[in-house]
Each structure stands twice: as structure tokens, then as C-alpha cells.
A and B are shown apart, each in its own frame.
Chain A
Amino acid sequence: MGRKSTYRRLLNGLQRTLLLCRIVNLAGISTILVMYEIFEHTADLGIRVRGESADQLFADAAKALFSVMVSNLRDVRPTEEIVLDVVGDDFEELLHDWLAELLFTFHVRRLVLCEFQVRVVPGGLTAVAKGEAIDPARHEIDVEVKAVTWHGLKLEHESSGWVAEVIVDI
């Protein structure tokens, strides 16, 4: 029983990770694989993202955030483009502020964003994000992320690349 349930848990975990790998078409220019996984937190939701570079990590974290909120993100059309600048020196704080800015954009400008090009520069980041206005008829929005928390926030540069963890409040 113990071994069987461990095996099943492993399998479920693997399936979940695979299911959460999204292939996103960047306006027909290139196709990238976005890797992120959800980790468990009793009341909220944890997102773990890995990237080869800081730029990619920040872009993938953004995509992960929108994937949590919009279950059919692949159907969102990249018809509108916005430019976002976020200021900050500390990478972890910058990641928090970047995701918080995107959340604000979602709630106030009512934009669902699906494509991100991020350039981390000294003193902050500059990003181009594409998406479209929220359309409840086409967009499956089933989770409200209230906020990006500071609890357990982590951004590290490992030998294999960059990894970040963030817990969002639902």
C-alpha cells in the first residue's frame, strides 16, 4: 500500500508537471517551452519556475502567473501590446514587484497577457507584454489571485540555471 501510493504520488506529480508545460507560439516568430510547476501550500498556491537566464525566468514567471488565473491561456490572442518598467536592485524584490505589477494590470486594465519579452537591466527590468482585453465568454478565468506574497519568496542562480519560487494568495 505504502509503495503503491508513493508510486501513484510520484506519477501524479510527474503528470502535473508535464501538464503544466505549455508550448506557446510567440506571434509566429518562435516557439518556446515554458516550464513551471505548482507546489502545494494549504490555503494558497506555490509556483516554481526555472530558466536559463534571468530574462527567461522573469518571462516564464509571468506566464505561470497568468496560467494559474486563466486556464486556457493558449487561446488568448496577443493583439494588444504594453510596455512595463519595474525598478529595483534586489532580484527577489524585483520578481515580486514584477508579478504584482502584472496582477494590477490584469485587474485594473483588465488585460490578459500571454506573451512576455523581459530584459533585466541594472536597476530594474523593462518588458513588452502582449495579450488582449478580458473576455469572459472566451477566457476561462477560474482563480482569483489576490496578491503575490513575500512568504517563501526565493530566486536563486544554480549551476543549471535560475530557479524561483513564489506563493500567491488566493
Chain B
Amino acid sequence: MAKQGYHGPLEQIDECCWRIPRSYKLGMRVEGRIFADERLLQQVRHDQAPEQVANVAFLPGIQMASLAMPDIHWGYGFCIGGVSATDPAEGGVISPGGVGYDINCGVRLVRTNLKYEDVGPRLESLMTALYRQIPAGVGTGGPYLFGGKELRQLLAEGTPYLAKRGLATEDDLEHTEAGGCLAGANPDCVSQRAMQRGGDQCGTLGSGNHFLEVQIVDEILDDSAARTIGLEKDQVCVMIHSGSRGLGYQVCDDALLALRKAPAKYGIDLPDRQLACAPVHSDEGQQYLAAMRCAANFAWANRQLLMWQTREIFAEFFGRSWESMQMGLVYDVAHNIAKIEEHTVEGRLKTVCVHRKGATRAFSAGHRELPSQYRSIGQPVIIPGDMGRASWVLVGQPGSMEKTFGTTCHGAGRVMSRTAAVQDAKGRRIDRELAEKGIIAKCRSWKGLAEEQPAAYKDVSLVVDVVHRAGLASKVARLRPMGVVKG
């Protein structure tokens, strides 16, 4: 399969949105809509991602449109940056491919009361301490072991279970999407293989694009929202990006196996096997939902334990308690997940199954699921960029509720394949190039750093600019990386 661009139709709806009409492919139940501007559009056409947006429009029960965010890129089955909502009452389906292998991959941001001058002079040794102590890399286990019964409790209860064990505070739970626990998680639906694969990995970073970054608030764009969130210029923060590790990958794999025959059984015609799905109300659909929720809970617990370790490392390094450094959680967001939510579709309130694959929930101000602290400004959205440029904090806007089932982008989006990035980095030392920009990067392998080099990604600021202009989420603060630990 050679890499090819997309040559199908993309009709401009407005300055930030483009349509793939239903007439493009026989079988599309709704149109496709891609959020992008003229600058990003060329990159959007660069691969087969728009074709995948059209394919997702085949799903039974799909509502409004098959959507894609401006960080869209070619995935497997569903594109990355894709959003689709199905109505179970209209035969709507759930598809593991619409969530992805890394169930509840997500990001959290931790604030501190440290300033650049507190950390800058000692950055190298701080990054070395984080690199040595945060478990990372392929298949690496961590210091937290959960035996059979404990693991089942963790899967059923998520982060609140860690609070019972003294590894999370009430404030942490309040500032995590869904409180760090999806109801309806049933460990009986998680295979032994999945438990074996991820049982010792809670509290580990993993590899690939996962990271822990020490960042500095570079610019505040919305003073009032930034004050409410507790961010100010020159403040040091920590951003953590990881997911459900081997447990989640295996849950997805198991589900795809279980659903292999489901499309034929339910008479669903699909253009790609990776879109395998079953009606939400079917046994197969319910089994997957129950298992996926376990993996999502595991992922929230994973990021919680990564944050907990970070707090302990900071406390030891600076010789003060983490509480005295005010290392509170700003927010934790999932960007690979399926959730049952209420949305107004064409004037009617409906209960739909929202698939977000490489897309972030961005509820607007006043939503009842938001913590009281943020209810007046909208949900904080954490958008990681590449390790050389910037990351962003946004807040959800009413446009997301109207146009995207309360969703916005999730990151920069790849523009270079991994092989191309490695080829591009031949003969270069990415860590030295970053060091020249004042960024300390710690990674176990040259190849890992080469694959994740800044040039492999779109400029996240261009992506964020589109969702801001489209009214999906608005800019609050830009952060720039000081130090990076890659998985």
C-alpha cells in the first residue's frame, strides 16, 4: 500500500470547515466535515485520512456528520482526530476502532508555584531524576503492583480506588474527566490476557509518543480564564501524556476478535474491516463498552500514578512537600474514548455514543459535568504539541456543543511518517538540536527521538488557531517545553 493523497471532494462550508458530500460514496449515511483552514488543508489532503472520514459515515445510526478535527491524520479504520456519534435508539453502533488500541490515551497538566528561575539552573539534574525514576519504555513494569483482586477493583473503580489507597486526593478526582471513573466498567468482561499484559504497568509511561514534560507558561491569552485555572506567565507546569498501556491494547484486540463476525450478523456493510462494530444495545456492544470502561479507568489510574511519582520526585528534589509547591492537577482529559452523552441533534435532545479518537472533550461553560471551579469558564482542554515548540491550554466553547458533540482537537497531528522522520534525522542529534533551544530531552533510544522530532508534526499553534476561530475551544495559555522525558 503506497502512500497516496486524497483526491476526493472537499467543499468549503466556511473559513474553518470543509465538507465531503454524501454523494462521494454510496453508503455514506451522513456527510463528512473536516475542520481546517487553507493552510492546513494541503496537509489534510496529504494522506488517506479524508477517505477514512467518508468511511466512518457508513456506520449505522451515525448522527449529524462524520467529523474530523484539524489535527486529522491517517489512522487505521478511523482517522486520528475523528469524532462520530451514533444513536443507539436508531440502531447506532459502537466500534472499538473508533476508540483505538490505546483506550483513554490522554493528557494531564499539573501546576506548581515554581518559577523559571527556581527550576532553570537545576533543570538538567531535575530531568535526570525524572528520567531515572519514572518507569518508561517498551513493556516496562512500574513500582505499583496490583494483584488479581486489587486489579479488578482498580478496573471497576478507576482513580477513586487509588484515593482509598492514599494515592490520589479528592481534588485530583474532581479535576479528572468523569472523576477518573466510568460507571458500568465490568472486570468480568476483561480477558485474562489483557490483565496479564498490563497488570504491572499502572504508573508507567510507555513508549512512542508518550511523554512527561516540564513546561513553562509562555503566554497568557485569556487573563480571566487563566486566573480561574490557576495559571500565570513564567509558571512551571508538568504535562503527562500516556494511556492504558498493554491492558488497553489487549482489550481492543480482544474486542476486534469478538466483533469479527458481528457486521455480517447484524447486516452491517463496511468499507474497512478495522471499522468492525456492533449495535450499542447488542450483547457484543455491551461487552465491549464494559471492557473499554475498565481500560479507561486503568488509564486514568495510570496517569494519576505517574503524577503521584512526579510529585514525590519534585518533593525529594526541591526538599519541600508537593503540597507546599502547590502541585495541584489543572485537569486530565481523555482523547481516545467512547462515552454515552446527551447532545442536541437537529433540535432534539438525544442520548448518543460519542467516539473520540484523537479528539478531546471540550464542554462549554455551565455543563453539569464540569467541576464547580471551571463551570463559569468551560472545560479546560490540554493540547500537547511537539517537544520543540508549544503546548496549549484551551477552554471549551458553545460552538463545540453545536458542531462537534462537545469536542475539539487533541494535539498537533503527525505530518511525517515514522520511517520518514527517522530518514530525515539521519546524521543528526535531535537532543543536541533541542538543547540549543534550551530544551533538555531524555530518551532511551535515538530512533525514538528521531520519530518524535518536532518536524514530524504539524505546528500545534496552527491547529489550535482553527479550533479557536471555529468556536470549538478558545485559547487560554501557551506553554513551551523546558525538559522532556520520552517513553
Interface of A with B (CB < 8 Å)?
Answer: 12, 16, 38-46, 69, 71, 93, 97, 100, 104, 106-108, 110, 134, 136, 140-144, 146-154, 165, 167, 169-170
Task: Tell me, rounded to whole Å, the shortest Cβ–Cβ distance linking B59 to chain A.
Answer: 16
Measured CA separation A12–B423 after assembly (Å)? 9
How close is A71's CB to chain B, nearest CB, in angstroms? 7
Known contacts A12-B423, A40-B417, A149-B101, then 18 further A-B pairs from the complex at CB < 8 Å, ordered by chain A residue: A16-B419, A38-B419, A39-B2, A39-B3, A40-B419, A42-B74, A43-B414, A106-B139, A142-B444, A143-B208, A144-B137, A144-B206, A144-B208, A147-B249, A150-B272, A152-B76, A153-B273, A154-B1
**Measured CA separation A14–B19 after assembly (Å):** 39
Asked whether B73 lies within 8 Å of A42 as measured between CB atoms, the reply is yes
Neighbouring A residues of B138 by C-beta, 8 Å? 69, 141-144
Q: Chain B residues near A107 (CB, 8 Å)?
A: 139, 197, 246
Report if A142-B448 is in contact (Cβ < 8 Å); known contacts: A40-B3, A152-B1: yes
Complex Cα–Cα for A165 and B3 (A): 13
B196: Cβ under 8 A from any A Cβ: yes
Q: Nearest chain A CB to B308's CB is how many angstroms away?
A: 23
Q: Which residue of A lies closest to B76 (CB)?
A: A151
Query: CA of A150 to CA of B252 in the docked complex: distance in angstroms?
Result: 12
Residues in B whose Cβ lies below 8 Å from that of A97: 257
Give the residues in chain B near A44, CB-CB below 8 Å.
Answer: 75-76, 418
With both beta carbons as reference points, the residue of chain A lying nearest to B273 in the complex is identified as A150
| Complex Cα spacing A110 to B139, Å | 9
Q: Which residues of A contact B324 (CB under 8 A)?
A: none
- Report the Cα distance A16→B418, complex, angstroms: 14
For B47, give its contact among A42, A140, A148 (CB under 8 Å): A42
- Count: A-B pairs, CB below 8 Å: 118
State how many angstroms separate the Cβ of A11 from the closest Cβ of chain B. Answer: 12
In contact, B414 and A42 (Cβ under 8 angstroms)? yes
A89 to B424, CA, bound (A): 42
CA distance A43 to B252 in the complex (A): 18
Contacts of B444 in A (CB 8 A): 142
Looking across the interface, which residue of chain A has its beta carbon closest to that of B447?
A: A142
Chain A residues whose CB sits within 8 angstroms of the CB of B49 once the complex forms: 42
Q: Determine if B253 and A151 form an interchain contact, defined as CB atoms under 8 angstroms apart.
A: no
Set A134, A147, A165: member contacting B252, Cβ < 8 A: A147
B1/A46 in contact, CB under 8 A? yes
A102 to chain B minimum Cβ distance, whole angstroms, is 13
Contacts of A43 in B (CB 8 A): 73-75, 80, 414, 417-418
The closest CB in chain A to the CB of B256 belongs to: A150
B445 CB contacts on chain A under 8 angstroms: 140, 142
A143 with B139: in contact, given A108-B196, A152-B76 (CB under 8 Å)?
A: no
| CA A149 to CA B222, docked complex, whole Å | 42
B201 → chain A closest CB, angstroms: 9
Which 7 residue pairs across A and B have the least CB separation, nearest first?
A: A151-B76, A142-B445, A151-B274, A144-B207, A40-B417, A42-B74, A149-B76
Count chain A CB atoms within 10 A of each CB in B102, B138, B273 and give the residue with the most: B138
CB-nearest residue of chain A to B1: A152
A144 to chain B: which residues have CB within 8 Å?
137-139, 206-208, 487
Contact flag A169-B73 (CB < 8 Å), given A46-B1, A107-B139, A108-B196: no
What distance in Å separates the Cβ of B49 from its nearest Cβ neighbour in chain A? 8
* B449 smallest CB distance to A (angstroms): 10
Contact indicator B101/A146 (Cβ below 8 Å): yes
Query: 1/0 contact trace for B191-225 toward A, CB 8 Å?
Result: 00100110000000011100000000000000000
